[in-house]
């Protein structure tokens, strides 16, 4: 077997690790992989062009940006913050754990388009989490503020990934069903989706605990190293 095409994967790993521009890394890896597999250059460019064109629907979602931008112009993020500030006892931990559960349950009911990064995390969830964190811990240094924002995005991902497979009519369940059927194992979507439940529960417990742990860590008093007075 020709193992050379794997060099393309190595290029991706090295390129990302060295923080080259990801677009350059991806196209470089695609061309290298194709050539090493014995395709000629024009065929690689054609494959790349065809696949890019077939996947245009992925980038269609950016049409949401004018809506989000316009609402931000009129104070949407500030509104999200004041809403959380007005809730007594709201902490970042509670807020994100509730969002995690909400995202898992709605995704499990097939509503995976509630939430998402451009439409929910940037304008609503992240500012709310930041406001809640500041409410309990005071103004946050830059590094910790970014941790809170990143945790908001991570929570959206975890909630989506480990909720959506409980819904039986979702692409990944249909893919599993299709693969097993082609090997002579007919399964129903429902048989598969119930087995997503144990992992969903583990995900809620593990990620929920980590959210709370971050909230506690932010609250810790930071002792600055005090210089010993010179003798």
Contact string 5-24 vs other proteins (x = CB under 8 A): xx-xx--x---x--x-xxxx
Could you say whether residue 231 binds other proteins (CB under 8 A)? Answer: no
Residues 70-99 that bind other proteins (CB under 8 A): 70-80, 82-83
Which residue bears the tokens 């909720």? 163
Residues 192-221 that bind other proteins (CB under 8 A): 192-193, 195-196, 198-199, 202-203, 206-207, 210, 214
Residues 107-166 that bind other proteins (CB under 8 A): 110-111, 113-124, 126, 142, 146-147, 149-154, 156-158, 161-162, 165
Residues 164-193 that bind other proteins (CB under 8 A): 165, 171-173, 175-177, 179-180, 183, 185, 187, 191-193
Angle between helices 92-108 and 126-137 (to 10 degrees): 150
Residues 52-71 that bind other proteins (CB under 8 A): 52-71
Minimum distance, C-beta of residue 85 to other proteins, in the bound complex (Å): 12
Q: What is the dihedral of CA 15, 20, 24, 26, to 10 degrees?
A: 30
């Amino acid at each position: 077997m020709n193992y050379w095409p794997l060099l393309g994967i190595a290029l991706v790993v090295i390129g990302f690790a060295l923080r080259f521009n990801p677009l350059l890394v991806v196209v470089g890896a695609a061309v290298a992989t194709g050539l090493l597999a014995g395709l000629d250059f024009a065929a690689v460019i054609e494959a790349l062009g065809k696949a890019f064109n077939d996947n245009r629907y992925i980038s269609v979602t950016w049409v949401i940006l004018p809506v989000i931008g316009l609402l931000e112009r009129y104070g949407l993020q500030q509104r999200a913050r004041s809403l959380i500030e007005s809730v007594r006892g709201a902490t970042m931990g509670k807020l994100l754990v509730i969002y995690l559960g909400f995202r898992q349950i709605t995704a499990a009911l097939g509503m995976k388009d509630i939430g998402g990064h451009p439409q929910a995390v940037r304008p609503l969830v992240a500012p709310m989490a930041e406001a809640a964190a500041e409410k309990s811990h005071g103004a946050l240094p830059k590094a910790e503020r970014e941790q809170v924002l990143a945790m908001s995005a991570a929570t959206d991902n975890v909630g989506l990934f480990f909720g959506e497979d409980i819904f039986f009519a979702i692409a990944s369940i249909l893919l599993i069903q299709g693969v097993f059927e082609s090997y002579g194992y007919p399964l129903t979507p429902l048989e598969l989706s119930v087995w997503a439940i144990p992992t969903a529960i583990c995900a809620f417990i593990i990620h929920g605990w980590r959210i709370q742990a971050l909230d506690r860590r932010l609250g810790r008093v930071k002792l600055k190293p005090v210089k010993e007075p010179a003798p």
